[in-house]
């Protein structure tokens, strides 16, 4: 049976052909919405989405689904906890659209400074207003705070430095192997910034990050750019900051963004002159879409040919394994079974296991991550098997 791939959002034609040439059955339904997905994805092996929401219903309803790929960076439109419960891999394409998003972020900074959208609207309405629009400050020498210095934040930094800006970044720290967001010192960073630009994912830690307290640290008349996710900003606090501090804002993302590519829209943000909104187009350049599509194809081909998942986002980062056992053995039937039975008899749980063969196919090396310690007596028993070459055991 051919592997079935459903692509549920717009995807460049030539990459669809590449998948077909790879002997995969490709179903291309770019207009699918979240409500259609439970039925459409029921019998596919691989699902590719851009903005379409993959709900728990779609995941629970699926019979064969094995891999969901977000053809983009953020994975917040996929119900990952539902995927975890069914052992469905979720992968994304990080970094592929970073330049496009960075270009838009810089464009929005210039737009806010020169009020380009207002210039255009006035001209379209028959108004010439050089007097008013000559009041821009210029970006050269201004201080930019980049909140989130990942792939996109770094691209913004390069471009901002080229414009002669002073650039500060607030990075993501790692503690014990787990990525956490370190938002300390915002009280020192934000008061320095003429412009603040957000480049963070939507997570429980970043939800509503820009609240009354953080807006309180921002300079009056400063700019805030959000090309990341609407959830990062507490909308009420934003509206208050606009009123009280004349903060000016440009955002590519809004709450309750329409699922369809074109729709009528009503938003409380429409009537506020200090706010510019673009239509979630950050990643939507030809260049970025091709890079994302090509990465998606690579992930699919790797997975189909070897079972390896590039950019696997729902692999556990925290493990209960505290010990590692490495067994080098002759690559023969039953050797690993004998090792496993010793482990099973002591009721030790194997968390992860990998068996790799040396060139020539004579010897293999099996690495196991275990919950509990292997005793000297167990190691002795393992070594009694003449097909076992060595056993080593360490705490990790």
Q: Which residues bind ligand 3PG (CB under 6 A)?
A: 50-51, 72-74, 97, 280, 282-284
**Among the listed residues 107, 191, 108, the one whose alpha carbon sits nearest the alpha carbon of residue 145:** 191
Q: Which of 19, 242, 257 lies closest to 112 in space, CA to CA? A: 242
CB of 306 to ligand 3PG, least distance (A): 25
- C-alpha 93/C-alpha 352 separation (Å) is 25
Name the residue number minimizing CB distance to ligand 3PG.
72
Nearest to 63 by CA among 93, 78, 41, 85: 41
Q: Would residue 280 show up in a list of annotated catalytic residues for this protein?
A: yes
Tokens 């464009």 -> residue = 107
Q: Tell me the Cα Rg of the chain.
A: 26
Minimum CB separation of residue 72 from ligand 3PG in Å reads: 3
Closer of 7 and 73 to ligand 3PG (Cβ): 73
Active site residue 159: no
Of the two residues 153 and 282, which places its CB atom closer to ligand 3PG in the complex? Answer: 282
Q: Of these residues, 70, 280, 311, 329, which one is catalytic? A: 280
Q: How far is the CB of 25 from ligand 3PG (least distance, A)?
A: 24
Characterize the bridge pairing of strands 388-395 and 178-181: unpaired
Angle ∠(136,142,145) on CA atoms, nearest 5: 120
Backbone angles phi, psi at 289, to 5 degrees: -65, -35
Active-site position among 257, 259, 351, 373: 257
Please give the structure tokens belonging to residue 29. 């339904």
Give the residue with the Cβ less far from ligand 3PG, 55 or 372.
55
The catalytically annotated residue of 50, 70, 229, 329 is 229
| Least distance between ligand 3PG and beta carbon 223 (Å) | 21
Q: Could you tell me the smallest distance in angstroms from the CB atom of residue 289 to ligand 3PG?
A: 8
Torsion on CA atoms 241, 243, 248, 251, rounded to nearest 10:
70
Nearer to ligand 3PG by C-beta: 257 or 302?
A: 257
Closest CB to ligand 3PG among residues 97, 314? 97
- Clarify whether 25 is annotated catalytic: no
Q: Which residues are catalytic?
A: 229, 257, 280
């Amino acid at each position: 049976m051919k592997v079935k791939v459903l692509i549920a959002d717009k995807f460049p034609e030539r990459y669809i052909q590449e998948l077909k040439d790879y002997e995969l059955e490709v179903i291309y339904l770019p207009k699918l919405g979240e409500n259609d997905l439970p039925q459409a994805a029921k019998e596919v092996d691989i699902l590719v989405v851009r903005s379409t929401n993959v709900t728990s219903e779609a995941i629970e309803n699926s019979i064969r689904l094995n891999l969901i790929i977000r053809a983009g960076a953020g994975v917040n439109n996929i119900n990952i906890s539902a995927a975890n419960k069914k052992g469905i891999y979720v992968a994304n394409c990080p970094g592929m659209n970073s330049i496009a998003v960075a270009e838009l972020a810089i464009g929005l900074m210039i737009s806010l400074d020169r009020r380009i959208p207002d210039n255009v609207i006035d001209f379209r309405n028959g108004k010439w207003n050089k007097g008013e629009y000559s009041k821009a400050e210029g970006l050269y020498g201004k201080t930019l705070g980049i909140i989130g210095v990942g792939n996109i934040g770094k691209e913004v930094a390069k471009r901002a430095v080229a414009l002669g800006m002073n650039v500060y970044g607030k990075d993501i720290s790692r503690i014990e192997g787990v990525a956490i967001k370190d938002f300390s010192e915002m009280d020192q960073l934000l008061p320095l910034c003429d412009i603040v630009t957000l480049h963070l994912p939507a997570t429980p830690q970043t939800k509503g990050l820009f609240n009354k307290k953080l807006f309180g640290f921002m300079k009056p008349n400063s700019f805030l750019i959000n090309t990341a996710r609407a959830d990062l900003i507490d909308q009420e606090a934003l509206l208050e900051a606009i009123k009280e501090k004349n903060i000016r804002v440009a955002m590519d993302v809004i709450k309750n963004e329409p699922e369809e590519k074109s729709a009528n829209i009503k938003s409380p943000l429409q009537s506020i002159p200090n706010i510019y909104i673009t239509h979630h187009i950050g990643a939507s350049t030809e260049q970025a879409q091709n890079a994302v599509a090509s990465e998606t194809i690579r992930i699919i081909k790797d997975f189909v040919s070897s079972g390896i998942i590039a950019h696997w986002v729902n692999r556990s980062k925290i493990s209960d394994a505290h010990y590692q056992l490495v067994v080098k053995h002759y690559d023969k039937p039953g050797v690993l079974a004998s090792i496993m039975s010793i482990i099973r008899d002591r009721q030790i749980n194997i968390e992860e296991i990998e068996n790799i063969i040396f060139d020539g196919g004579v010897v293999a090396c099996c690495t196991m991550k275990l919950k509990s310690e292997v005793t000297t007596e167990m190691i002795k028993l393992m070594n009694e098997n003449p097909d076992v070459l060595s056993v080593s055991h360490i705490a990790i």
